[in-house]
Every structure is written in structure tokens, then in C-alpha cells.
Amino acid sequence: MKYILINFILAIGILGYFFVLPKSFIKDQPINTRQESTVVKTVAQNLNVPWEIAWGPDNKIWIAEQQGLISRIDPITGSKEILLKLTDVWQLRTSGLLGMALHSDMKKNPYVFLDYTIEKNNKKYSRLVRYTWQKDTLLSPMVLMEIPAALGHNGSRIVVNDGLVYWATGDAMSLVDSQDPKTPNGKILRMNIDGSVPADNPMKGNPVWAWGFRNIQGMAFSKSGQLYTSEHGDTNDDEVNLISKNRNYGWPTVQGIAESDAETSFKGLNSTVDPLKAWTPTIGPAGLDYYASDKIPGLKNSLLLVSLKGKSLRALKLDAQGKKILTEDIYFENKFGRIRDLCVSPAGDIYLATSNRDWNPVAGFPRPEDDRIIKISNLSKSDPQNSLSSMAAGSKAETLYLQYCASCHKENGLGVKGTFPSLQNSQTVVLNPKELIKKILIGSTGPATINGVIYDSVMPSFAFMKDEDLLDILTYIRSMGSSHAVPIKPELVKQVRASLNK
Ligand code: HEC
């Protein structure tokens, strides 16, 4: 009798296993069926720096790859179809095919807007061009604008909203254009879909909508029609801004929130607008999108920002009016490498595009499958990590080096040959303390030849750094290649600073 009872209980248990539990597996959820668990899937791979991705009216993901390829992938099967191959793209470092935007009403206006770098008579230009979508191809290019470009700081993002085109241009390395409303660089430009200037622009016949920008890398409208941007600062103060018509955002005088005497007095005279949020140390912000869906609990009414240096997805929760950032949550830090752009599907899934094959690779990347498009269909509340706490594990000197120098010279100091020199076997670092301090205080003064290789990319000035932090970094980089570096005397830093201020 005892055995029959046990068998009976076992039988019910087994039946229960087959008839009750499987129901929860049918819904295509991860093994851990807690509602808030993170769900991640690669939907496309072997891409080459997808600078912009957008959800199309055909329910495919449209992709602009930096070397000049426009394609679309089916997010379910991953199959890729090429729509257009541009043949006149000039591509080095952060130039090339950058922005892409689809018209918000492709049925009536089947237009795709692109911007890319070209070269004419030895000069570089950013070209904004409109193509017409027809079935499986893009036709009839119509150039809307061509403006000065450079090796870097070319922006740029394009967004179409309410039938108007917004184009965020870079300062193209000029320190005067951003503050000159008559030039197109360092601006947000607003135009009709044929490139003409709308009658309600702030200045008659001028596409300038807002100005005072350095290098915008993300731009998105919220559901209520407010425009937000993300922007690269110099050595400090990356920004997210809320854009108002006809306003000045301060670059190059005001960086981040106006604090110093020079910044507050410039702000007083020019009524510049402070960012909603600024990051120092910098995070290398890139693509920006507004999340309006109910699909992922907790993200509604957030700006989603991806980052290159920060290698993460960030959710910036907005207040009800969209005028303040209340919280910042960081997801997937260091997991996928550099992330350049994102898009959100109508169903509320988030798609990320990695940028691990670009000009500035990071340790551990690219992986063979890079670059990838990764689908996020849920995010766990327990996922966000705080980047500062994970960084604080190392010494103070290491933290400073990682924050200020590693984005170019890399974590191990070996740099990227031809772009950022190695600090490990550098004559300057080991043998020439005065030149070393000078380099860090001044930054680049023009192309440098180091061990027979020309470096014409730019190193910013770190003159803002406190002497004690500078000394920490000096000791840190001097001990990278050898274990017996002699610390540099504090007096020498003071002496070099004084000689530069003469
Ligand atoms: C935005 C990229 C960038 C960042 C950030 C950067 N550097 Fe550089 N650095 C360069 C480039 C490019 C060069 C080579 C061109 C030149 O010397 O002007 C260089 C050159 C140097 C050199 C000279 C090497 C030699 O052999 O002559 C030193 C030393 C150096 N950097 C130290 C630092 C330190 C220390 C930091 C952090 C406080 C830093 N750099 C941050 C880009 C950068």
C-alpha cells in the first residue's frame, strides 16, 4: 500500500512536469522566467562599422556602414540585402558615410537622407543628399547641401520630424565656426525636404536652428516633439542637450555646465544654454533615441544613449516635462565593446550596433563576429552597474590614466600604430621629462614623427589637471615599459607650467 501511494505521488509529479511546467517554456522566454530578466540576441554580424541604424517601414533594419554601404537586414532571419553602394565616399578615421534618416512618412515621401564625406580639389566636404527609395534600391540622388569637413568632428546625425530635415553638423576642427551663425558648421540645421529654408527658421534664408556645438553624435525627438542631442566634449564634458530654437550652446567657450568665471561671463553675455547632463571623465556618447514603449518596464520616457569609450547602453530617465534627467542607469558595460548607434522597433525592442572595427579599437575587440547588431527585448532591473565603482578598484594613478589617456593610448599604453603612439617605449616618456610634461600640458602642436611613423591625429591639452594628478599619471606611464622609473619631481611640473605661461 505504501508503495502504491508513493508511485501515485510520483506519477502525479511526472504528469505535472509535462503538463504544467512546459507552458512557461512555450512563450520563447529564457530559462529563468522571472519577468524582468535580460534577453539579448545577435541578429546580424560581420558588419563594418554600422554608423547609423534605423527601423524601416518594411519592418527591416536599415544600416549605413561607414565605408559607403546602405543595406537592410531582416531582424528575424538576419539576411542582408544591399540597397546602395556609394562610390565617392572619402573615408579615414571619423569621416565617411555617417548619418542616415528615413522620412517619417515613406508612403507619401519615399526619401532617405544621407550624409558622407567627399573630397573635391584636395578639400573635404560633408554632403547631405536625398535618395528616393524604390523597391530594393535607392535612386535619383539630390544634393541638398555641401559644407566644409575635416578628418574628424564631422558630426553627424540626421533626423526627419514633421516633414522637416534636421542635420547636426560638426565644427570640422574650427574654433570659430560654432559661434558664427552665418556658417553651417557646429550647428543644427533645419530645412525642407528639398533643402530650401523653412519660413519659420530663426534667420531668414538661413538653415541654422541652433548653434555652439562641437561634434554631435546622437539626435532624437521625443514623443512630445522635443529635440535632444548627445555631443563629444574635448578632454572633459561630454553632453546631452535639450535643443531650443535659436539658442547658443556655448562651444568652445562654455564646456559642460557653465562654472568658471570665463564660462559664466560668456553665458551672461550670450545667454547660452547649459546641457541637461555633462560627463567628466568623458564617455564618448554616440547614438541617442527616445523610448516611448511599454515593452520594457522602467524605460518609458527615457533617453537611451549608447557610448563608444564608455562601451555601454545608458538609460537617462526624463521628468514628465522632458526638461530634466532624473537618473542614469548603465547596462552591458564592456560586454559588447564600442557601441555606435541604436534604434527602437515599434514593438519596443532595442537594437544596438557595435563599432569595434572603427579607427579606435579597444582591448579584447573586435571579436570575429564584429560588428554586430544586437537585439534587447528585455532588461533586468538588477543589470545596471555603476561605472565609477567598477573603476575604483585600481590605484588612483591607474584610474586617472584610464579616464584621461586610455581612450587613445589604450589600457596597456601601446596605442594604435599610425594613429596614437605607444607610451611604452617612448623616448619622450622615459628620457625627456621636460618634453613629456610639455606634451601633456599643451597637447599636439602639429603632426609628430615618432620612431619614423607620422602621427597627425590630435592630442588635447591637459593643462586643467591638478599637479598631483599629473604627477600620478607621469609615474604611471613611466613605469609601464620598465619597472624602475624614477618619479618626476613636483618642482619640475611647476617649472614647466611657469615657462609655458610666459
Ligand atoms: C584624443 C587622443 C589622445 C588622448 C586622450 C591623449 N593623447 Fe597623448 N597623444 C595623442 C597623439 C595623437 C599623440 C601623437 C601626436 C603628438 O605628439 O602630438 C600623442 C602623443 C603623446 C606623447 C608623446 C609620445 C612620444 O613618444 O613622443 C605622450 C607622452 C602622451 N601623448 C601622453 C599622454 C597622456 C599622459 C595622456 C593622458 C593624460 C594622453 N597622452 C592623452 C593622442 C592622445
14 lines ligand 1 (CB under 6 A): no
User: 64 - beta bridge partners?
Assistant: 52, 70
CB 356 within 8 A of CB 365: yes
Distance 366 CA to ligand 1 centre (A): 23
Question: pLDDT at position 182, please?
Answer: 93
Question: pLDDT at position 314, please?
Answer: 97
Of the candidates 21, 25, 29, the residue with the CA atom closest to the CA atom of residue 380:
29
- Kindly state the average pLDDT of the residues 417-421: 91
* 127: Cβ contacts below 8 Å, ≥ 6 apart: 115, 116, 117, 118, 143, 145, 146
pLDDT band at 34 (very low <50, low <70, confident <90, very high): very low
N- to C-terminal Cα distance for the chain?
102
Minimum mean pLDDT range among 21-35, 184-198, 380-394, 484-498: 21-35
Query: Side-chain half-sphere of 94: how many Cα atoms within 13 Å?
Result: 24
**Domains of the chain, first to last:** 39-388 (2.120.10.30), 394-500 (1.10.760.10)
Question: The pTM is what?
Answer: 0.82
As given in the structure block, the three cell numbers for residue 426 are 617612448
pLDDT band at 345 (very low <50, low <70, confident <90, very high): very high
Ligand 1 atom nearest residue 419's Cα: 12
CB 329 within 8 A of CB 344: no
166 lines ligand 1 (CB under 6 A): no
Q: b/e per residue, 204-234, with b = 16+ CB within 10 A?
A: eeebbbbbbbbbbbbbbbbeeebbbbbbbbb
User: 227 - beta bridge partners?
Assistant: 221, 243
What digits encode the pLDDT tens for the residues 463-483? Answer: 999 999 999 999 889 888 665
Minimum mean pLDDT range among 69-83, 374-388, 414-428: 374-388
As given in the structure block, the three cell numbers for residue 440 are 601633456
425 lines ligand 1 (CB under 6 A): no
pLDDT band at 149 (very low <50, low <70, confident <90, very high): very high
Distance 496 CA to ligand 1 centre (A): 17
- Kindly state the average pLDDT of the residues 151-159: 95
- Kindly state the average pLDDT of the residues 405-426: 90
436 lines ligand 1 (CB under 6 A): yes
Of the candidates 60, 155, 172, 174, the residue with the CA atom closest to the CA atom of residue 98:
155
Distance 443 CA to ligand 1 centre (A): 7
Rounded CA separation 42/376 (Å): 9
As given in the structure block, the three cell numbers for residue 191 are 530645412
Question: pLDDT at position 17, please?
Answer: 45
- Kindly state the average pLDDT of the residues 329-335: 93
As given in the structure block, the three cell numbers for residue 477 are 606611464
Ligand 1 atom nearest residue 401's Cα: 37
> Beta-carbon neighbour count of residue 294 at 10 Å?
9
